[in-house]
């Protein structure tokens, strides 16, 4: 008969990549490089938007939120990944595991919300351009940001409460070097249907976010097709490319991870690890790269910042000539 774990007792055991335990020191090298790229990339976006006043516009405020979310998601997994792969320390207390799980899922849920807000920004900019400045004021953007924080935090708190009521009397070995909700409830020795249903509800909310994003793009495409000038059509669609890529690199791994956790019980353990790592690492790494490459304003701001620091005024002219592909 299972006994509920007292807080701080019987720690969970984190796991690295299945089948390569003897190479964990070497595995940390690519993980460390990914962390470095994610932190530097998103930190640079934050710095560029903060420093350059011409970027103090709704579109870049939402990009600031996205970079903050990606940075939070990256830093949420860093301590335990470092301990598992580099130090070989696999134990994590139940409270610490809950806190990490809460942070990972909050920032992940927050990213879905920010992408939805960015889709609304693109919809207003293209479909209602004359009302853009009156609809998306700085105060309204701040309200949207506060609403995202409240939505995600309050939605995840019941998940923590439900987990504290579960007894864990089976193996305490998790499947990843960090704590995920789907992984923890798998170890419960009583019926965790309520936990699974609540987790499924949050997944459905993320699917709703994606459906609303898709709806916004349908309306954007309808508006763009009504523009007679091919050049103006291309210009309008080009402002959506970075966001569209960010949506794909977030929701495709999310769908893959959800499917493999719910229906892939007989799948090789390495497949679970790969999907989880793609989901947590790919968006924070690629988002700043995509926005730096596709956004002329971010490129100009970045080069302007480098020129200011290095006193290379000649490089600023290169950004004036930069064209997005």
- 83 located within any domain: yes
What pLDDT is stored for residue 315 in this prediction?
45
- 5 located within any domain: no
SS3 content of the chain, % helix, strand, coil (to 5): 75, 0, 20
> Which residue matches tokens 């495409």?
221
Q: Tokens representing 218?
A: 């349908």
What pLDDT is stored for residue 288 in this prediction?
92
Q: Say if residue 2's pLDDT is above 60.
A: no
What pLDDT is stored for residue 21 in this prediction?
66
- 62 located within any domain: yes
What pLDDT is stored for residue 222 in this prediction?
93
What pLDDT is stored for residue 227 in this prediction?
84
List the domain range (segments joined by +) for residue 218. Answer: 12-294
Torsions phi, psi of 268, nearest 5? Answer: -60, 140
What pLDDT is stored for residue 170 in this prediction?
64
Q: Tokens representing 266?
A: 């007989």
- 55 located within any domain: yes
Residue 230: pLDDT band with limits 50, 70, 90: confident
Q: Region 71-84: what's the mean pLDDT? A: 91
Q: What is the mean pLDDT of the chain?
A: 85
Q: Tokens representing 134?
A: 């009156």
Q: Say if residue 91's pLDDT is above 70.
A: yes
Q: What is the CATH number of the domain that holds 160?
A: 1.20.1070.10
Number of domains in the chain: 1
Q: Region 3-11: what's the mean pLDDT? A: 52
- 219 located within any domain: yes
Q: Cβ atoms within 10 A of the Cβ of 213, count?
A: 23
Q: Region 203-219: what's the mean pLDDT? A: 94
pLDDT digits (tens, 9 = 90+) for 260-306: 877 766 777 777 788 888 889 999 999 999 988 877 778 777 777 77
- 256 located within any domain: yes
Q: Say if residue 312's pLDDT is above 60.
A: no
- 318 located within any domain: no
Q: Say if residue 320's pLDDT is above 50.
A: no
- 236 located within any domain: yes
Which CA distances in Å does 318 have to 50, 55, 125, 291, 300? 22, 19, 28, 18, 9
Helices (H), 8-137: 24-51, 58-82, 94-127, 132-135
Q: Say if residue 65's pLDDT is above 90.
A: yes
pLDDT digits (tens, 9 = 90+) for 133-180: 999 999 999 999 999 999 999 999 998 888 888 888 767 888 888 998
What pLDDT is stored for residue 316 in this prediction?
43
What pLDDT is stored for residue 96 in this prediction?
92
Percent of the chain with pLDDT over 70: 89
CA–CA separation, 29 vs 279, rounded Å?
Answer: 19
Give the pTM.
0.87
């Amino acid at each position: 008969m299972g006994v509920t774990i007292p807080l701080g007792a019987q720690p969970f055991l984190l796991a690295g990549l299945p089948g390569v335990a003897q190479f964990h020191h070497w595995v940390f090298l690519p993980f460390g490089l990914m962390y470095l790229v994610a932190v530097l990339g998103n930190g640079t976006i934050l710095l560029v938007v903060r420093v350059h006043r011409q970027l103090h516009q709704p579109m870049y405020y939402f990009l600031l939120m996205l970079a903050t979310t990606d940075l939070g998601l990256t830093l949420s997994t860093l301590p335990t990944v470092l301990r598992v792969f580099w130090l070989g320390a696999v134990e994590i207390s139940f409270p610490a595991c809950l806190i990490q799980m809460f942070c990972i899922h909050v920032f992940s849920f927050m990213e879905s919300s920010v992408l939805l807000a960015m889709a609304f920004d693109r919809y207003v900019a293209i479909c209602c351009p004359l009302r853009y400045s009156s609809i998306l004021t700085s105060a309204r953007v701040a309200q949207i940001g506060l609403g995202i924080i409240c939505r995600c935090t309050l939605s995840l708190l019941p998940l923590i409460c439900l987990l504290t009521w579960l007894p864990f009397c089976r193996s305490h070995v998790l499947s990843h070097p960090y704590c995920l909700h789907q992984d923890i409830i798998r170890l419960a020795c009583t019926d965790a249907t309520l936990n699974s249903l609540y987790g499924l509800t949050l997944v459905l909310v993320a699917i709703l976010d994606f459906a609303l994003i898709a709806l916004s793009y349908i309306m954007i495409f309808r508006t763009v097709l009504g523009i007679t000038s091919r050049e103006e059509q291309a210009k309008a669609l080009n402002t959506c490319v970075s966001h569209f890529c960010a949506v794909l690199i977030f929701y495709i791994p999310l769908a893959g991870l959800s499917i493999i956790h719910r229906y892939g019980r007989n799948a090789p353990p390495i497949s679970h690890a790969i999907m989880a790592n793609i989901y947590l690492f790919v968006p924070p790494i690629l988002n700043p790269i995509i926005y730096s490459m596709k956004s002329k304003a971010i490129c100009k701001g970045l080069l302007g910042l480098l020129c200011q620091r290095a006193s290379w005024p000649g490089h600023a002219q290169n950004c004036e000539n930069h064209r997005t592909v």
